[in-house]
Chains A and B, each alone.
Chain A
Amino acid sequence: MMDLDILKVRDASDVEDAVRAALAAGRPLEIVGHGSKRVLGRPVDAAAVLDLSALAAVTLYEPHELVLTVAAGAALTDVVTLLADHGQQLAFEPMDVRPLLGGEDAGTIGGMLGAALSGPRRIKAGGARDHFLGFSAVSGFGETFKAGGRVVKNVTGYDLCKLMAGSWGTLAVMTEVTLKVLPKAEAETTLMLRGLDAATANRAMTAALGSPHDVSGAAHLPASGLRGPCAGLAAGAATTLVRVEGIDVSVADRVAALRRELAGFGAVEAIEGEPSKAAWQAIRDVVPFAAGGALGAWPVWRIVCPPARGCALGEELARESGGEAVYDCGGGLIWLALPPLPDAGAALVHARAGAAGGHAMLFRAAAPLRASVAVFPPLASGLAALNRRVKVGFDPHDLFNRGRLHAMTEAS
């Protein structure tokens, strides 16, 4: 990644020009907003950087319509602030990668969508994909195209927004995106259980999520995973957290009901307002494994699996590797920090995650490691071939973020 040309584009038409030039010259591009997520995925093989940070305008924000259109290079923090000024939010709680990756910048909306890293509320509100209504982009054919729209109910043509979400910039260069936004909850309370082992914690979260009380967060932090300060959560004992949000009277009602349902798991404590928000922000951003913390030098995996199996899978992996696991989404999202191993534990983690009906991504690791092991899960052969054909349909010459998802040898 040394001495790359930086193509700083001013608008969407510049993007099309730059892609056409790259296409003509056969020079692959690394697609970058603020660069906050360049260390995610495999290192990219590019001849130039396409810098979208100047595409930062808010084109349309209609709070009453719950809709926002911004240029892809708009800063995530600016958008979050703009929405908060109107009592609104991106309901899928996009992760801020700074604590975990140690960067300075929280990145752009385009990067947020490209990585599709949703937070704890995913279990209730859905992920980034579910809030992504429309976009304009430039394909690897050098053509500007659009898909979707600005309304939620829309089945006109294929839902390409879903395809772009989580595509890591490998299909097309998004220039403008439209998102559904939602009101912030008026109140929130988090119930906490202390000292549960992982299996019991998983059962407690399953009970809460299987109740009619509309839980919007369910996480478990084992004692050994909390080695430093974490949003005021007491170290030394495992903490299981269940969040309820809504209007005051409803939160009070549901908290009372959940206290009864969780009583069998031990004493139930509660935090509200700011302390509750801070706790969930720390869970969202994986503060227990923060770059500046005790486990900051360890590689970190992000594992998605059926939620009721999550804690068993995480415990097994932690035990076999000597690592630590924390759990979000009722057990459906495992963050696993492993002590340094030659392959970052890739063979073990991919095999076990796959056997549990899940899949894993090596999230934090030094570049040489990310270049040498399977960062993303190996796909079954039919699915892998279909993924390649989809890529070819959008970017036939592999111009965008070449090599970010898979090594050449894996693809062939």
Chain B
Amino acid sequence: MSILMPEFDKAVMARRGDIVTALRAIVPGEGVICESRELVPYETDGLTAYRQPPLVVVLPETTAQVAAVLRYCHDNGIKVVPRGAGTSLSGGALPLGDGVLLGLGKFKRIRDIDFDNRVVVTEPGVTNLAISQAVAHAGFYYAPDPSSQIACTIGGNVAENAGGVHCLKYGVTSNNVLGCEIVLMNGEIVRIGGKGCEQPGYDLLGVVNGSEGLLGVITEITVRILQKPATARALMVGFASVEAAGACVAEVIGGGIIPGGMEMMDRLAIHAAEAFVHAGYPLDVEALLLVELDGPVAEVDALIGRVEAIARGCGATTVQVSHSEEERLLFWAGRKAAFPAVGRISPDYLCMDGTIPRGKLPEALARIRELSVKYGLQVANVFHAGDGNLHPLILYDANVPGEMDRAEACGADILRACVDLGGVLTGEHGVGIEKRDLMPTMFSEIDLKQQQRLKCAFDSGGLLNPGKVFPTLHCCAELGYMHVHGGKLAFPDLPRF
């Protein structure tokens, strides 16, 4: 529990009764939750090591209510934390004891399915998978597929710029979102983009994606949908060394093949997954590569052959090709169950999320092995190998005093190694609170100040989700950010925009 959150504002906490009354005037009925027993489900997200009950939970049902809640909080200096399904793995939705938790769970309606323009307009509380299900009858789907897709909401996907197995070929969330409606902290409602492929003005959609709930509350999203590929087949390839598996990944991509998915697991992860789901994984290999090709039948058949040849050329010890949908799904079953499988062999684990240049995979694994020895903790490795996104799972037991701290320290060192190898702290899980204090490993003080000036343009009071992403909170004036009022800067002697 080494992450410090901003000190609670006692004066705000003392006004709790008034705040509840004011919120009830905006969201009538059961939309305001303040009984401590009922706050429990909201006190954490997917990063369960951190818990904090919010001051109060509000569950608005309309954009107008969201705007009114934010305006009230803005005018009264009350912090707000937005929340979708609460599946964030980085603590992005961790509540604040002096803040309102604003849940979007009631925004559950798909507003428009437009097959001619190949878009779906949806409310943010709809799950990722529900979008694909709503268009499946016409052969369409929504491509980004984070592994929590049955539970996670599209609003949270936008906030975190979620990825998934298939983003190697089809892009992450931000590549698949065309428009949104957001409510700013001051209650202003702004529409960005729409059904066209570009938006007028600055590409604000690009920064709202992945803004981790710090810029605005998303109340509507327009996503692009695609026709489902005609077929998909997978190869399961075993290697005697991670170096050989890493070389195979580089050869496939370098050979001009962009698979639908390309995943790697190391020995510990393979054994845990096989014991859990019996997918038929070879147990005498150091690394297992799953490569999925999707598209027209003729293309997939041809590329399966090419990838198989590359794999054998890289010294694969076993190569299996799926010949049926059942077989393909079985190959994936182990990978998809890798996290719970590791959960069976260890009381607790921490899931990290660094990205490295693909070619550095063997070096990254060697460093992780060293750190595993140094901290005396086992690490199982599961990667989105095609895009160099690592998910080392650090095994620990929270009941052993000091072990969680050691696991966190080990995780931090792994992420530092990723940055050192030319990579980044987080590929798809977000910074949240988990990686907040590591931001200076990747960014200078100036880099971080510039990012925070963008925040000032959206939320000049710093009331929306404070304590996340940025290790040091600056007020906007400190950052040199100048207040704009009615389109004019506060300083009349300065040049105008």
Contacts and interface: CB of A to CB of B under 8 A. Distances in A.
B301 to A, nearest CB: 8
Interface string A151-185: 11111111111110111000100000000001110
A46 to B, nearest CB: 12
B287 to A, nearest CB: 19
Given A157-B451, A308-B117, A393-B453, A402 B200 contact: no
Contacts of A383: 190-192, 201, 204
A26 B256 contact: no
Contacts of B256: 87, 183-184, 186
A162 B203 contact: yes
B299 A253 contact: yes
B197 A123 contact: yes
B156 interface: no
B163 interface: yes
A65 B359 contact: yes
Interface in A65-104: 65-67, 87
Interface residues of A, number: 98
B11 interface: no
Contacts of A63: 254
Contacts of B139: 212
Contacts of A186: 256
Nearest to A393: B453
A163 B196 contact: no
Interface in B406-454: 422-431, 435, 439, 442-444, 446-451, 453-454
Given A163-B454, A393-B454, A155 B426 contact: yes
A143 B451 contact: no
Interface in A134-148: 139, 141, 143-147
Interface stretch (B122-130, B169-177, B266-274): B169-177
B357 A151 contact: yes
Given A122-B197, A388-B487, A129 B457 contact: no
B10 to A, nearest CB: 31
A390 B457 contact: yes
Nearest to A333: B197
A200 interface: no
Contact of B206 (A159, A184, A402): A159
A411 B496 contact: yes
Contacts of B451: 147, 157-158, 160
B431 A163 contact: no
A150 B489 CA distance: 36
Interface in B182-214: 184, 188-192, 194-207, 209-211
Contacts, number: 292
B423 A151 contact: yes
A19 to B, nearest CB: 13
B200 A158 contact: no
Given A62-B359, A306-B117, A127 B299 contact: no
A359 B201 CA distance: 10
B174 A159 contact: yes
A265 interface: no
B34 interface: no
Contacts of B384: 153
Interface string B469-497: 10000000000111010011100001111
Interface stretch (A188-196, A232-240, A244-252, A267-275): A244-252
A380 interface: yes
B227 interface: yes
A307 interface: yes
Contact of A385 (B203, B254, B453, B484): B484
A159 B296 contact: no
A311 B430 CA distance: 41
B118 interface: yes
B167 interface: yes
Contacts of B254: 63-64
B393 interface: no
B359 A163 contact: no
Interface in A196-252: 206, 209-214, 246-247, 249-250, 252
Using C-beta atoms within 8 Å of the partner chain, give the interface range for chain B.
Answer: 35 or more
A384 B457 CA distance: 12
B299 A154 contact: no
Contacts of B444: 145-146
Given A213-B296, A394-B450, A411-B487, A156 B197 contact: no
Nearest to A244: B296
Contact of B204 (A87, A184, A390): A390
Nearest to A215: B227
Contacts of A171: 202
Contacts of A158: 207, 210-211, 451, 454-455
Contacts of A147: 447, 450-451
Contacts of B378: none
B389 interface: yes
B161 interface: yes
B79 interface: no
Interface in A319-358: 329, 332-333, 357-358
A153 B163 contact: yes
B230 interface: yes
B426 A156 contact: yes
B494 A396 contact: yes
A377 B194 CA distance: 15
B298 A253 contact: yes
B7 interface: no
B457 A389 contact: yes
B64 interface: no
B175 A130 contact: yes
Contacts of B167: 153
Contacts of B202: 163, 166-167, 171, 387, 390-391
Contact of A126 (B171, B204, B211, B449): B171
Contacts of B172: 153
Interface in A92-136: 116, 122-123, 126-127, 129-130
B250 interface: yes
Contacts of A210: 115-116, 118, 227
Contact of B496 (A130, A152, A408): A408
Contacts of A382: 184, 188-190
B447 to A, nearest CB: 5
A332 B196 contact: yes
Contacts of B277: none
B45 interface: no
B447 A146 contact: yes
A392 interface: yes
A166 B426 CA distance: 26
B203 A163 contact: yes
Interface of B: 114-119, 139, 160-161, 163, 167, 171-172, 174-175, 184, 188-192, 194-207, 209-211, 227-230, 250-251, 253-254, 256, 258, 295-299, 302-303, 355-359, 384, 387-389, 422-431, 435, 439, 442-444, 446-451, 453-458, 469, 480-482, 484, 487-489, 494-497
Given A129-B203, A306-B195, A382-B190, 13 more contacts: A28-B495, A62-B357, A141-B480, A155-B210, A156-B425, A159-B209, A163-B206, A163-B207, A212-B229, A308-B114, A329-B197, A357-B195, A392-B489
List 10 tightest A-B contacts by C-beta distance, closest first: A162-B206, A250-B299, A183-B256, A153-B427, A64-B254, A389-B457, A306-B195, A308-B116, A393-B453, A212-B227
21 contacts: A64-B253, A129-B203, A149-B355, A151-B356, A151-B387, A151-B427, A153-B428, A155-B426, A157-B451, A160-B451, A162-B174, A163-B202, A304-B196, A380-B190, A390-B202, A392-B484, A393-B456, A396-B482, A399-B495, A411-B487, A412-B488
